[in-house]
Amino acid sequence: MSAAWWRVAGKDVRVELRSRATLVPALLTGLLVVVVGLLAFHDLPERGMVAAGVLWIGLAFAGALGLARAFGAERDRGTLDVLLTLPVERGHVYLGKVAASFATILLVALVLVPVYLVAGGEPVPLQWPGLLLVLTLGALGLAATGTMMSALASGARGRETLLPVLLVPVLVPLLLASVHATQDALAGLPFARWRAEVLVLVGYDLAFLAASTLLFEWGV
Amino acid sequence: MGRAGSASVLAFEAVTRRFGARRALDGVTFRLAPGTLTALVGPNGAGKTTLLRLAATLDEPTSGRVTVEGATGAAARRRVGWLGAEPALYDDLTVRENLAFVAGFHGRAGGVEEAAARFGVTPLLDARARGLSRGERQRVALARATLAGDLLLLDEPTTALDAEGADAALRALVEMRGERTLLAATHDPALVAKADRVLRLDGGRLS
């Protein structure tokens, strides 16, 4: 059943498009962080250096809001049992959830970056395809990690508090590589200068996706 | 996780499930013959829901073995239709979408209309689940369970239904006997009366 993850993702996207329970708060949170960051660092000569950090703080906060719901909402309405009795390996359910969370986080990123560029009066970076690659890899890593942690936390009391505690330490390498690569892409540096960070992101994403797909059965 | 012979539809072999020091199930052994309706009865806390969850692969036994047509894991889930204690619908999807979501995984997408008709929810097919009454939600959840595997595991299937709705649901379930195997945890005397077999649980043991 190779399309199983696609069906789970499609269901989540359809639910989200109708409820907007995740996308709207995630967008507003991300925008708030970016706008406050722009105002706070407006007069700083090295504003370009902190921009990547502000962007990724916004994305991490926005992503965490949605990721908390990835399994929490399923458990609250009782539909987690419906998902877990689907006739597929449970790793497919995990991958479907990752795909839906990834779509949300990437969409937020694709709004935040132009807002940052326009509101900050910045030119479109020459390395915009590279920037898009970094955003995609970073969003995928956030989704892969956050979805697994959401599954682990969903059955616990105080899961909203537990999720960041589980998530933040694991995200450190992802966020460091994303921030550095975004800085270099925004500065228009050649790809060779930040290829190492991109490789870290690829490795992180592959490792987390593979391990979580295998371990999800015991995590949820 | 595969099959190892299929002498019966559902087999529990010396199954014990502990939650801490408490034994929710204690050495339970039974087999379900295909095409039968079995009522699972017992007082609250007897272990009925635990037994159903183990059969549905939603939980694992502390010891013993549970197989569905000789299979475990995903292979077992292909044969299972599940109705939990709550109807558990996606409120932002229509009834049709809720049914089609599960049916699609079991290759039964073409059976949505028939399942809806069987439980009297055809007029609700294009309504969002959010607006349904508790009884309507229960009937949709019953229809959804029948769109999954051939072993129907039902936790209080007639609960929340009015007398007429409970009668209709029971008739529909009884009609399915033969082509499906049904195991229903219930306190409903009407369902128990229609059952081919009654399994009585008390304190986690079959009596």
A-B contacts at Cβ under 8 angstroms: 66
Residue found by looking up tokens 């020091």 in the block: B21
Q: Tell me what the pLDDT averaged over chain A comes to.
A: 91
State how far residue B91 is from chain A, nearest Cα, in angstroms: 8
Angstrom distances, CA of residue B96 to CA of A14, A133, A193, B104, B141 = 13, 38, 53, 12, 11
Question: Of residues A201 and A46, which shows the higher confidence score?
Answer: A201
The Cα–Cα gap between A171 and B164 comes to 55
Q: Which residues of chain B lie closer than 8 angstroms to A7, CB-CB?
A: 101, 104-105
| Mean pLDDT calculated for residue range A70-99 | 94
pLDDT over 50 at A105, yes or no: yes
pTM: 0.92
Interface-testing mutation among A12, A69, A82, A213, with chain B (most B C-beta atoms within 10 A): A82
ipTM given for this complex: 0.92
Question: Which residue among A19, A84, A87 sits closest to B105, beta carbon to beta carbon?
Answer: A87
Q: Which residues of chain B lie closer than 8 angstroms to A85, CB-CB?
A: 56-58, 77, 80, 82, 148
The Cα–Cα gap between A145 and A166 comes to 10
Question: Which residue among B87, B97, B149 sits closest to A87, beta carbon to beta carbon?
Answer: B149
The Cα–Cα gap between B71 and A110 comes to 46
pLDDT at A46: 78
| Mean pLDDT calculated for residue range B54-62 | 97
**Cβ pair A77:B105 closer than 8 A:** no
The Cα–Cα gap between A27 and A129 comes to 22
Question: Of residues A205 and A121, which shows the higher confidence score?
Answer: A205
Question: Of residues A124 and B148, which shows the higher confidence score?
Answer: B148
Q: Tell me what the pLDDT averaged over chain B comes to.
A: 94
Pairing between strand B80-83 and B151-155? parallel
Report residue A163's pLDDT band, with 50, 70 and 90 as the boundaries: confident
pLDDT at A70: 87
pLDDT over 90 at B199, yes or no: yes
* Contact criterion met (CB below 8 Å) for B169 and B22: no
**Cβ pair B74:A87 closer than 8 A:** yes
A195's tokens: 């290829």
Query: With pLDDT > 70 as the criterion, what percentage of chain A qualifies?
Result: 99
* Contact criterion met (CB below 8 Å) for B84 and B50: no
| Closest CA in chain B for residue A16 | B92
The Cα–Cα gap between A110 and A11 comes to 22
* Contact criterion met (CB below 8 Å) for A65 and A25: yes
Q: Which residues of chain B lie closer than 8 angstroms to A213, CB-CB?
A: none
Chain A touched by B19 (CB under 8 Å): no
| Closest CA in chain B for residue A81 | B58
State how far residue B5 is from chain A, nearest Cα, in angstroms: 19
Q: What is the pLDDT of residues A63-72, one digit of tens each?
A: 988 888 888 8
pLDDT over 80 at A186, yes or no: yes
Chain B touched by A155 (CB under 8 Å): no
| Mean pLDDT calculated for residue range B103-121 | 96
* Contact criterion met (CB below 8 Å) for A197 and A137: no
For residue A98, the enclosing domain spans 4-219
State how far residue B53 is from chain A, nearest Cα, in angstroms: 9
* Contact criterion met (CB below 8 Å) for B40 and B30: no
Query: With pLDDT > 90 as the criterion, what percentage of chain B qualifies?
Result: 94
pLDDT at B49: 97
Q: Which residues of chain A lie closer than 8 angstroms to B104, CB-CB?
A: 7
| Mean pLDDT calculated for residue range B93-120 | 97
What is the phi/psi pair of residue B39, to 5°? -95, 135
pLDDT over 60 at B4, yes or no: no
Which long-range contacts link B16-24 to residues 24+ away (Cβ below 8 Å)? B16/B61, B16/B62, B16/B63, B16/B64, B17/B47, B17/B50, B17/B54, B17/B59, B17/B61, B17/B62, B17/B204, B18/B62, B23/B204, B24/B50, B24/B204
pLDDT at B3: 42
Q: How many domains does chain A have?
A: 1
**Cβ pair B105:A4 closer than 8 A:** yes
B139's tokens: 């009937």
Query: With pLDDT > 70 as the criterion, what percentage of chain B qualifies?
Result: 97
Chain A touched by B106 (CB under 8 Å): yes
Q: What is the 3-state secondary structure (H, E, C) of A143-175?
A: HHHHHHHHHHHHCCCCHHHHHHHHHHHHHHHHH
**CA triple B94-B55-B170, angle to 5 deg:** 55
Chain A touched by B89 (CB under 8 Å): yes
**Cβ pair B88:A87 closer than 8 A:** no
Q: Which residues of chain B lie closer than 8 angstroms to A4, CB-CB?
A: 105
| Mean pLDDT calculated for residue range B154-169 | 94
Interface-testing mutation among B77, B78, B137, with chain A (most A C-beta atoms within 10 A): B77
The Cα–Cα gap between A35 and A115 comes to 9
The Cα–Cα gap between B195 and A29 comes to 55
Return the closest-CA partner of residue B186 out of B40, B21, B23, B38.
B40
**Cβ pair A81:B89 closer than 8 A:** no
Q: Which residues of chain B lie closer than 8 angstroms to A14, CB-CB?
A: 92-93, 97
Return the closest-CA partner of residue A39 out of A49, A51, A30.
A51
Residue B68: partners with Cβ closer than 8 Å, 6 or more residues away: B9, B10, B55, B57, B76, B77, B79, B80, B149, B151
Question: Of residues A173 and A116, which shows the higher confidence score?
Answer: A173
Chain B touched by A88 (CB under 8 Å): yes
Q: Check residue B6 and report its DSSP letter.
A: -
Q: Which residues of chain A lie closer than 8 angstroms to B127, CB-CB?
A: none
